[in-house]
Structure 1
Amino acid sequence: MKEFVVTADGSKTLYHPDIGEHYHSRHGAVQESRHVFLGMGLQHFLASPAIRRASVLEIGFGTGLNFLLSADYCIQHAVTLDYTGVEAYPLPIEIISQTGYDAYVGREVWHSFLSSYSNSQRQAQTFAAGSSLEVMTTDVLQFVTSKRFDVLYFDAFAAVHQPEMWSAETLKHVCGYLKPGGIFVTYAITGHLKRAMSALGFAIEKVPGAPGKREMLRATKNS
């Protein structure tokens, strides 16, 4: 049975007993999400004021925290967000609604998410400010879309628990959906990961990690 755990920043994460890992960092769930994915990923892409639209692909949608923070940021900054999550084992809405993440985003974002979450697993749902959410409930290697993305949030469980998610085959598959110049971010940084991403034609950056990790990986797809 999955159990909620309060992390160091006061926000909750969920423990997955079958995998033996938490969905988010125990050093701070919201803190990690804001730093790794929103800050180093989406905000980095949106650094130019001229960019008013962004498309994000998330591998490992989980609790929806990365989406919520991204959607909230985009609404506040008048950016239209097209968000696609991939999640083989989607959490039920009963668990999602107990995360307490409504404390970290606007009321409109939270309620739009709760009301559209189940339907988003069947087709893309439009919510505030013309942004959209689609959650693809499939194994990552079975994921297929005609879309191409500006930013890729790679938020799979750690390689020690799910090595297949970090294989060269998986990375090649998901990175194929990034646009030239697109940004890949993840909380981890290993020799294997750097070599695999370099082999796929990405420029590698070691950037400061979230609390509990000294560094993380950001990689930009060559044009």
Structure 2
Amino acid sequence: MKRNIITTSDGSKTIQIEDWNEQYHSIHGAIQEANHVFMKHGLLFYYENKLAHLTEDRKSTSAKTTINILEIGFGTGLNAFLTVIEGEKHNLNLNYTGIEAYPVQPEEINQLNYVELISDSHKTVFKKLHETPWEGAFAITPNFQLEKQEKFFKDIRFKNTYNIIYFDAFGARVQPDLWTEDIFKIMFNALKPNGILVTYSAKGSVRRAMQAVGFTVERLPGPPGKREMLRAIKHSATV
């Protein structure tokens, strides 16, 4: 299938699959979407909620909070790149697993402009995110460990491992098999109790599939170009 590099509304680039009329990120702004869905309503929501439940004594210690993150659709590495930077801001220790069935090619990565628009001082970090080998855990920074796995989502077998899932698969319009109860059951099993899953999608069928496997689902305001998005929580009582 023909793939093009296009510029989205916030000036950031993404990859378009022409035959599907589908993009790796929103045409209304790749960086804006990633920040809104996965940083604000994913990482920062989880961290702030966790912080609120810590005692004052524990808050005052210098120990880093450790968060395990699973990304469904590693793609361009944009979500991982933003996560590294947010982790540094909040003194987080992050273990990040990215799942991708069809890794993006180096010549495509070289055409993306995330470093220039987000943080030129993290140029080496973005390069390492893509140059580290698949299959195996590697330290990208002292506080960010990355493991990339080349596999289909249906083959994930994690159990009670992750605090957060970034569900960033291609849309249900072009790949409905990635948004089924079977897939969300795998996601539910992969999360620890009180873990969360965030996605840009707000389709009713997606919400119902999440609820059917045990998630508590909430609709949230969406990023530019979308009215709503979804956040699903695996409450302890549903384990």
Shorter-chain-normalised TM-score: which range?
over 0.9
Helix, strand or coil at the partner of 1:192 = helix
Shift of 1:180: 0.8
Alignment of 1:32-71 (within 5 A): 32-47=33-48, 48-49=50-51, 50=59, 52-71=65-84
Shift of 1:147: 6.8
Letter in structure 1 aligned against 2:105: P
In the alignment, the residues of structure 1 paired with residue 193 and residue 129 of structure 2 have an alpha-carbon distance, to the nearest angstrom, of 31
Q: Residues 87 and 19 of structure 1: is their aligned pair in 2 closer, same or farther, counting only changes over 3 Å?
A: farther
Deviations 1:63-102 (A, max 9, x none): 0101101111101221111111110000122221221110
Alignment of 1:1-223 (within 5 A): 1-47=2-48, 48-49=50-51, 50=59, 52-107=65-120, 109-145=122-158, 148-223=161-236
Q: Which runs of 5+ in 1 are unaligned?
A: none
Shift of 1:146: 6.1
Letter in structure 1 aligned against 2:21: G
Counterpart residue number, 2:55: none
Deviations 1:27-82 (A, max 9, x none): 00000000001110010001044472211111111101011011111012211111
Q: Residues 108 and 144 of structure 1: is their aligned pair in 2 closer, same or farther, counting only changes over 3 Å?
A: farther
Q: Please give the TM-score of this superposition, normalised by the length of structure 1.
A: 0.93
Helix, strand or coil at the partner of 1:66 = helix
Deviations 1:99-131 (A, max 9, x none): 111024444543133135233413111021331
In the alignment, the residues of structure 2 paired with residue 149 and residue 172 of structure 1 have an alpha-carbon distance, to the nearest angstrom, of 14
Letter in structure 2 aligned against 1:96: I
Residues 201, 230 of structure 2: 8 Å contact kept: yes
Residues 201, 221 of structure 1: 8 Å contact kept: yes
Q: Which runs of 5+ in 2 are unaligned?
A: 52-58
Percent of counterpart pairs with the same letter?
A: 39
Larger Rg: 2
Bigger mean CA offset, 17-26 vs 99-108: 99-108
CA RMSD across the alignment = 1.7
Letter in structure 2 aligned against 1:35: H
Letter in structure 2 aligned against 1:144: R
Q: Please give the TM-score of this superposition, normalised by the length of structure 2.
A: 0.87
Runs of 4+ aligned structure 1 residues displaced above 4 Å come to none
Bigger mean CA offset, 134-143 vs 30-39: 134-143
Residues 160, 189 of structure 2: 8 Å contact kept: no
Aligned residues: 223
Helix, strand or coil at the partner of 2:132 = helix
Residues 163, 196 of structure 2: 8 Å contact kept: yes
